[in-house]
Chains A and B, each alone.
Chain A
């Protein structure tokens, strides 16, 4: 009863936030609604006893990905009117894709392999059950190849992203910190011994 109420509370916020992501006029507001959507989704995952995944969702998507997203969106100068220009031209295609997606979802959710009768209620685990440990064990034993493959694909993506954006500017004033640290006084400073040119002028200036 209590959990059901919480579920509907989170679900309502999630649906509302999801709607606002696509309807908000301001891209920064849209990004912030997406943050809210991730956060409420994490709340729903906690209800499903997937605490580790829920916290990781917040850590990775809310704490890192969306920060960078906002970072970019805030710096862009987006002209909303120009974005909206092609709306009616794209509507038939977008509508077709949307209908297709709805049909697919209906087929899956309404099918006989999915549903409360087929799946049954999973037994709740005791409070000291660590799904972090279970998840780690599965990832590194049963699904180790898939896991490693995903890691390698991510690595390739990282290397590619850096290779695509790395440019050496010729006029860059970059200084190598190691060389800066190594500098000794004698490299920069030359002490020149000179005889005093004027005598006993200092006393007059001071007075």
Chain B
């Protein structure tokens, strides 16, 4: 009888967790859909165009129409492709992009899994995203796809190091790997947020985040002018859409992490205003707007320039600043870096 009760609570936990996962993933997917809409609108306005305005009021149903269109299309598997891996590619791209959200806190208490090594978990899971790209590029059995995959792999591995070092600065300042604790350590107005004492790391993280998600101006992995569409050139229909979803989910993830680690997460900028999830949404939205702004503004980097920026500029900056933070913590001004 007792064991039956135990099982019942276990089942309850599992069901409850599944409901929570759904409650996280559904808004996230909607966010992704409307991020594509926002991207087209914002870039449209920046280039003095209107952007999508046909489907629904002001084009608001455009993402839904796109999704339906992609769902209806045939998925073509090239004759020379490695079939199993060809299908595995998109799955491995989207799985880490969603799995990383498990530890992202929205407020003090609103978090799926408040684990102790949250920051490390995010790093580990996002580093797996590159497999989707590599496997897709290789399994397509196409030179363009393969070149795109190689470029992307080299780029992601390079920028991950700079990104990791930027995070080391944050965990030194917060003295914790737990994302909730990191935000709590920034309490007390916007001048306590980490983007001020860790400004170089903030910049490096933001730019490395753009590079990690293969976004313009670092999108050589899918440079149309050189390698058509890069690693997903052979993909059609929903298989292509899954890559698309993964890219945008990763974008929102990087924006959310920037918010949590450098911009105070759900904390309000002025101490007398109430904290809340609204601030989290506003800050994440602002960082996402930066992503779109970059894309509308900067021309694509040349490949060797990307590698130089990653290895010879960002990694030295982060290492120097980690030493600065460590040294300053031993001085009377150490509280500025906590």
Contact = CB atoms under 8 A, between A and B. Distances in A.
B153 A71 contact: yes
Contacts of A2: 10
Interface string A16-55: 0000000000001100100100000000000000011001
A176 B154 CA distance: 22
Given A75-B150, A132-B120, 8 more contacts: A55-B117, A63-B130, A64-B157, A67-B131, A67-B134, A71-B134, A74-B146, A132-B117
Interface string A55-89: 11011001110011011001100000000000000
24 contacts: A2-B10, A28-B138, A32-B85, A51-B115, A51-B117, A52-B117, A55-B120, A55-B121, A58-B124, A58-B128, A59-B127, A63-B124, A63-B127, A63-B128, A64-B160, A67-B156, A67-B157, A70-B134, A71-B150, A74-B134, A74-B138, A74-B146, A128-B116, A130-B116
A28 B88 CA distance: 14
A81 to B, nearest CB: 20
Contacts, number: 67
B330 interface: no
Interface string A75-105: 1000000000000000000000000000000
B22 interface: no
B153 A59 contact: no
Given A63-B128, A177-B308, A56 B134 contact: no
Interface in B109-127: 115-117, 120-121, 123-125, 127
Q: What bracket does the count of chain A residues touching chain B fall in?
A: 20 to 34
Interface in B134-180: 134-135, 138, 146, 149-150, 153-154, 156-157, 160, 177
A35 B125 CA distance: 13
A64 B127 contact: yes
Interface of A: 2, 28-29, 32, 35, 51-52, 55-56, 58-59, 62-64, 67-68, 70-71, 74-75, 128, 130, 132, 177
Best-surrounded residue of B125, B128, B150, B308 (most CB of chain A within 10 A)? B128
B305 interface: yes
Given A28-B138, A132-B117, A62 B128 contact: yes
Contacts of B149: 74
Contacts of B150: 71, 74-75
Contacts of B305: 177
A32 B135 contact: yes
Contacts of A28: 85, 138
A54 B146 CA distance: 31
Nearest to A59: B124
Contact of B124 (A32, A55, A70, A177): A55
A130 B178 CA distance: 10
Contacts of B130: 63, 67
B131 A35 contact: yes
Contacts of B154: 71
Nearest to A71: B153
A126 to B, nearest CB: 11
A201 B21 CA distance: 74
Contacts of B127: 58-59, 62-64
Contact of B153 (A29, A52, A67): A67
Contacts of A75: 150
A28 to B, nearest CB: 6
Contacts of B10: 2
Interface string B93-120: 0000000000000000000000111001
